[in-house]
Amino acid sequence: MKSLARHRRGLLPASLANLVFLYAPIVVLIVFSFNAARLPTAWEGFSLQWYVLLVRDHALAAALQNSVLIAAVSTVIATLLGVSAAVGLERLPWRRRVWLEGALLLPLVIPEVMMGVALLLLFVLVKMPLGLLTVTIGHAAFNVPVVLVIVRSRLHKLDPQLEEAARDLGATPWRAFRRVTLPLLQPAIVGAALLAFTVSLDDFVVTFFTAGPGATTLPLKVYSMIKTGISPEINALSTILVLASMGLVGLSLLFQRKRVHA
Amino acid sequence: MTTDSTGSRTNVCHRAWVLVPALIWMGLFFFLPLLIVLLISFASRGTYGGVEWTFTLANYRDLADPLYLWIYLRSCALALATTGLCLCLGFPLAYYIAGEPARRQGIWLMLVLIPFWTNFLVRTYAWMDVLRTDGLLNTVSMGAGLTSDPIEILYTDAAVLIGLVYGYLPFMVLPLYAAIERMDRSLIEAARDLYAPGWAVFVRVIVPLAKPGIVAGCLLVFTPSLGAYITPDLLGGARSMMIGNFIQHEYLVVRDWPLGSAASFVLMAMVSAGVWAYQRAGGERLL
């Protein structure tokens, strides 16, 4: 046992190097957002000027509003659809369940570009003007499997006897579901919704293809800023986005880990 | 009690109905669009960029053009290199995490996951900051006297590779960790007790036991790398186009939808082939 532990400890430097690799660019990004210099090359003193610039940018405020609106609406749709799909799948015969589940999870493995392009074609063919609505629809579509995966893994761990007990005591199926299963699923549902919200807030590729002129979101804004030239203002905006998604994901994990006191 | 026998049956029906809204939504906004892409890939391009509905295989034939084939080959090579590098970097980390006490495992996994859940675009941009000619990497390496002239990395394939490895490393670490954590450690001890040298323990015991994780991790890294869009777009140069950029270019710049559709279907076929091979090989559920 001791030899094994020693042999594993040798991997600590490599593991730490991995973490440095994962975090260094993010740290650099955040540090340079507070740099007084125009170019992110040398440190010229602490400054909040780039954040002040952000606050004054009206186009940015509009993009933030679009992002939050799209994320909120698509999360509600995806959560309703994803939770109901998870519950529905649970009681299907095995063969049909595997097949349907595979189909519903397909968006997770399909290249994002393909999904964006496909949605663009659909909207163009049915002559639906590209805008907030088309982006929201697309986000809800890729978020259904996100919610489905999380809620289903929780559902698997639930004891089916709990709901059966409620049924035996005379509860209608709906009542048994609402009073027994749903409360037990609640942490997973909240976690899934928070994650869907984050994924929507962060999405660039599908948004890029499905957004019209009036539907600029924060990632689209960041992209166009990067394309027009690097400036510390992008670092400031990126820092805010990074911290926002870290916070949301942290919350989501907290909810998903919450133990059920039944 | 009277509902006992039929009760479970109504329960099943009641539950199964609940699936319908999700199926309709995904049908309309996922499967129908994919079907449209498939159909258009067999149509031809109209004079002004639209679509003419005549059946043709010309788009797929056009893709065999050496210029386009080159893009596919490059993408495959970059995706393979990404997968290999992620495996080399991720394995020691996953192995280390799996040996930690349970509480610390959670913390390590969290640390691996957090960057993954932050905005991909922003993380890629962060590398632009680091890799620029007057960026951090060159400032540090020249300051330390490692190089006398700045290294031009940004807008090369090397930068794309770094960006891809960075973006998808967590996809490798998590399944590896899951497989290593599950394996019977006494087998390693047994091998050691029988005086197997370190490399033999690794090659003949650890790797075979971790194989499900290795296969899953490789697939999870290879697939998104192959279809990457943001990374080559931001970090790659004008000649670093990958399949994803090619598709976008055909759709939004050249406006040749049929060719773009054919290109995306070939990409999807490649991805599906990977997933199919994985499942045929008896791979576990990925998700």
ipTM of the shown complex: 0.88
Whether the per-residue pLDDT at A3 is higher than 50: the answer is: no
DSSP annotation string for B87-126:
HHHHHHHHHHHHHS-HHHHHHHHHHHHHHHTS-HHHHHHH
Question: Is the entire prediction scored with pTM above 0.95?
Answer: no
- The Cα A14–Cα A79 span in angstroms is 39
Looking at residue B143, what is its pLDDT?
78
Answer whether B209 touches A (CB < 8 Å). Answer: no
Looking at residue A90, what is its pLDDT?
83
Q: Which secondary structure element, helix H or strand E, spans residue B52, and what is its range?
A: strand B51-52
Answer whether B223 touches A (CB < 8 Å). Answer: yes
Whether the per-residue pLDDT at A256 is higher than 90: the answer is: no
Answer whether B197 touches A (CB < 8 Å). Answer: no
CB contact under 8 Å between A18 and B125, yes or no, is no
Q: Nearest CA to B126 among A35, A239, A222, A26?
A: A26
Q: Nearest CA to A70 among A249, A214, A251?
A: A214
Residue in chain B closest to A257 (alpha carbons) equals B106
Looking at residue B53, what is its pLDDT?
84
Q: Which residues of A touch B241 (CB under 8 A)?
A: none
Of B30, B108, B118, which has the smallest distance from its Cβ to A141's Cβ? Answer: B30
Of B23, B122, B286, which has the smallest distance from its Cβ to A222's Cβ? Answer: B122
Q: Which residues of A touch B14 (CB under 8 A)?
A: 173-174
CA B276 to chain centre: 15
Cα angle B32-B33-B39, degrees, rounded to a multiple of 5: 90
Tell me the three state secondary structure of residue B45: strand
Of the CA atoms within 13 Å of residue A26, those in its CB half-sphere come to 24
Crossing angle for the helix pair B66-99 and B102-116, to the nearest 10 degrees: 150
Answer whether A87 touches B (CB < 8 Å). Answer: yes
Looking at residue B9, what is its pLDDT?
45
Q: Which residues of A touch B244 (CB under 8 A)?
A: 111-113
- The Cα B108–Cα B89 span in angstroms is 15
Q: What is the pLDDT of residues A184-229, one digit of tens each?
A: 899 899 989 999 999 999 999 999 999 988 889 999 999 999 988 7
Looking at residue B235, what is its pLDDT?
93
Higher pLDDT, A94 or B7: A94
Looking at residue A208, what is its pLDDT?
95
Q: Which residues of B touch A149 (CB under 8 A)?
A: 287
Phi first, then psi, for residue A151 (nearest 5°) are -70, -35
Phi first, then psi, for residue B44 (nearest 5°) are -115, 165
Looking at residue A22, what is its pLDDT?
92
Distances (CA, A) of A214 to A123, A132, A138: 16, 7, 16
Q: Nearest CA to B25 among A115, A138, A91, A150?
A: A138
Answer whether B229 touches A (CB < 8 Å). Answer: yes
Looking at residue A261, what is its pLDDT?
46
Low-confidence ranges of chain B (pLDDT < 50): 1-11, 286-287
For residue A235, what are its two tokens?
């670092």
